[in-house]
Amino acid sequence: MRRTVPLTLAATLLAGALAACQGGGEESSTAAFDPATCQGGTLSVLNQGGITHLDPARLYTSGGGNIPSLLFRTLTTRNRLPGEAGTKPAPDLATDLGTPSDGAKTWTYHLRDDIFFEDGTPITAADVKYGIERSFAPELPGGAPYLRDWLVGAAGYQGPYKQPDGLAAIETPDPKTIIFKLRKPEGDFPFLATATQFAPVPQAKDKGVDYENHPVSSGPYMVAAYEKKKSLSLVRNPHWTKASDTLRYACPDKIEVTSGLDAAVINQRISTGAGPDAYAVTTDAVVGPEQLAQLGSGSELDKRVARGEFPSTIYLAFNTKKKPFDDLKVRQALSYAINRTSVVNALGGSAVAGPSTTFLPPQAALGYQPYDYFPAGETGNPAKAKELLGAAGLSIELAHENDDANGLGPKVAAAVQDAFKQAGITVTLTAIDSATYRDVTGKPATQPALSLQSWGADWPSGGPFLIPIFDGRQIITAGGNFNLAQYNDPAVNAEIDAINALTDPAAAAKRWGRLDAKIGELALVVPLTHEKDVYLYGKSVKNAVPDGWRGTYDLARVSVK
């Protein structure tokens, strides 16, 4: 396991690079893709899930999201490069990544001069401030939780509708400068600034809950028509200029998003590519077995597949305050018993999921350090598990979601159940509605002793992975808790604070990796798999290169000409 892991990492990077070569096919061989001349055509996006909300205050995205990033420019955004280089932020509305001061407790940004809304009004710092403030309103729930925790005095803030004075922690001394005052040093602030909450919203045009019917765009496209969960039509924003935005190419003239389609149908349509489907892509339908059967055999489909990896881990979460998981031996036994191959198969095979023995997924930007303290091999080590448990065996309950859409459903649960059966552990499965799964597992009072969980990188750093899960101060007893292990070690908390103060991502990554390796010895979780993203794109789509941050191609960079 230890020897193959660096190979896996290399293979991933190689695959990413190869995909980059293939994806931009013409780019390397015939140089037919040129961002300067790619304008024109209509891109069709076929998705399963609908866009329920188009309000920047309510969206919870990583790196600004794919479709939202077409409408909402943020202070910083992901740099959209493939591979390892893509895990860093780049300035978007701001002129640079921000200037930290006061030990990274204060961050100052200067906005560009050449940025405008879709109606021609210039974007000012006050607009960015208002956009962040309205995300606190209870009428607009959703979005990342960090702002409430990081900004000074934001914990009780109710939003500008109830408290028009706003947040004192955000200062705008002039229309092009914005300053953030934080409670603690946060070296990762430029990463957080990629969140959609940092998109500017003009206060004069705010309609509260109805704002999302036509949000004011700061990006290369604006909304022409929007039917929630069904379709979204985007046309060019006349006041966006290429000179002001080097990261987005905005090649297609129009983008048509259709939602509510079945994943198998989406992949079959893109694969067949009839009519407008030749210009089709998808942002949420990973390839299925029918396409996988054709890939790798030199078929035409091989030229139209984008492979990347979004840092995300699926794992088993123990509640170490509930029997029998307060006993380290039991947790170790389960770690030995798990059969990762059947979990991988339940998720769709080795093309779309890889076995994980570490909590941090295998991306270098997160500081990944390989470890495997409880070697289960590919199919589990039931003998060792039995040895640890003794003759009595064990009877436990496993909670899971009631549908397979998020990979935490009955299929994976059945795989885990079968693996544990071989080790003499009887597992009863408890299905919980996926709509309320997080609520039930996030309330320590109702939290099941063992549950399937997944965690994705809010940004590619070890911090957003380890802190909500293992920082004892993040345990919230009333609900919304992610530290399901109920783990609280002051030494670990202190180390977290120390790493947060670092502003050099490379140095921070190393220490996050070491922290993960240290926590791993306690078997507070059983990591199962990490995510691999394999997406098809249409025959006539060019430059569909997966970026290193999100693992999939960027709609702002693909072309249909």
Partner 1 sequence: MRVLHDRGFTVGAAIALVMVTVAVAAPLLTAWEGQDPTTFHNDLLDSARGGVPIGPLGGISGDHWLGVEPGTGRDLFARVVFGARVSLGVAVSATVLQVLIGVGVGVAAGLGGRHLDAGLSRLVDLVLAFPILVLAIALLAIVPPSWPRPVLLAVVIAMLGWGGTARITRGETLTLRARDYVAAARVSGAGPLRVARREILPGLASPVLTYAAFVLPTNMITEAGLSFLGVGVRPPTPSWGQMLSTATTWFRADPLYVAVPGGLLFATLLAFVLVANGVRRVLDPRQRTEVLR
Partner 2 sequence: MIGYVARRLGGTALVLFGLSAIVYALFYLAPQDPAVLTCGKGCTPERLAEVHAAMGLDEPALTQYRHFLQGLFVGRDYPAGPDVRHCPAPCLGYSFETDQPVTALLADRLPVSVSLAVGAEVLSLALGIGAGLLSGLRRYRVLDKLVNGLILAGYAVPVFLIGLLLLMIFCVYLRWLPFPTYVPLTTDPLAWAQNLLLPWTALALIQAAAYARLTRAGVQDTLAEDYVRTARAYGFTERRIVLRRALRGALVPLVTLTAIDLAAIMTSAVLTETMFGLPGVGQLLVGAVNQIDLPVVVGVTLLTGCLVVVGNAVADLLYAAIDPRVQLR
Radius of gyration of the CA atoms of the chain, in A: 23
Helices (H), 423-525: 437-441, 463-470, 490-501, 505-520
d(CA 182, CA 151): 5
d(CA 311, CA 66): 16
Helices (H), 81-145: 125-134
Nearest residue (CB) to partner 2, 260 versus 377? 260
d(CA 475, CA 478): 9
Helix axes 463-470, 490-501, angle to 10 degrees: 150
**Shortest distance, CB of residue 290 to partner 2, whole angstroms?**
9
What does the DSSP assignment read for 305-361? EEEE---EEEEEEE-TTSTTTTSHHHHHHHHHH--HHHHHHHHT-TTTEEE-SSSS-
Angle, vertex CA 322, rays to CA 316 and CA 325, nearest 5:
50
* Kind plus residue range of the DSSP H or E element containing 280: strand 280-281
Residue 447 in the binding site for partner 1 (CB under 8 A) = no
Nearest residue (CB) to partner 2, 227 versus 327? 227
Nearest residue (CB) to partner 2, 243 versus 274? 274
Pick one of 430, 454, 493, 540: the residue that binds partner 1 (CB under 8 A). Answer: 430
Pick one of 6, 103, 141, 375: the residue that binds partner 2 (CB under 8 A). Answer: 141
Pick one of 81, 94, 125, 261: the residue that binds partner 2 (CB under 8 A). Answer: 261
Residue 345 in the binding site for partner 1 (CB under 8 A) = yes
Residue 246 in the binding site for partner 2 (CB under 8 A) = no
Pick one of 149, 253, 372, 403: the residue that binds partner 1 (CB under 8 A). Answer: 403
Q: Which listed option, partner 2, partner 1, none, makes contact with residue 176 (CB within 5 to 8 Å by class)?
A: none
β-bridge pairing 525-531 and 353-355: antiparallel
Residue 349 in the binding site for partner 1 (CB under 8 A) = yes
Residue 39 in the binding site for partner 2 (CB under 8 A) = no
Q: Which listed option, partner 2, partner 1, none, makes contact with residue 210 (CB within 5 to 8 Å by class)?
A: partner 2
Nearest residue (CB) to partner 2, 32 versus 126? 126
Pick one of 121, 231, 233, 402: the residue that binds partner 1 (CB under 8 A). Answer: 402
Write down the residue that tokens 């961002």 correspond to. 35
Contact assessment for residue 478 and residue 485, using Cβ atoms and an 8 Å cutoff = no
**Shortest distance, CB of residue 288 to partner 2, whole angstroms?**
13
Residues 263-302 that bind partner 1 (CB under 8 A): 263-265, 288-290, 292-293, 296
Nearest residue (CB) to partner 1, 411 versus 511? 411
Enumerate long-range contacts of 145-148, CB under 8 Å, 24 or more apart. Answer: 145/480, 146/192, 146/195, 146/458, 147/192, 147/195, 147/197
β-bridge pairing 42-46 and 254-258: parallel
Stretch of residues binding partner 1 (CB under 8 A), selected from 190-198, 205-213, 340-348, 456-464: 340-348
Q: Enumerate binding residues for partner 1 (CB under 8 A).
A: 262-265, 288-290, 292-293, 296, 339, 341-342, 344-346, 348-352, 379, 402-403, 410-411, 413-415, 417-419, 421, 429-431, 433
Q: Enumerate binding residues for partner 2 (CB under 8 A).
A: 52-53, 58, 60, 137-146, 148, 156, 158, 161, 206-212, 227-230, 258, 260-262, 265, 268-269, 272, 274-275, 403, 433-436, 438-439, 442, 476, 478-480
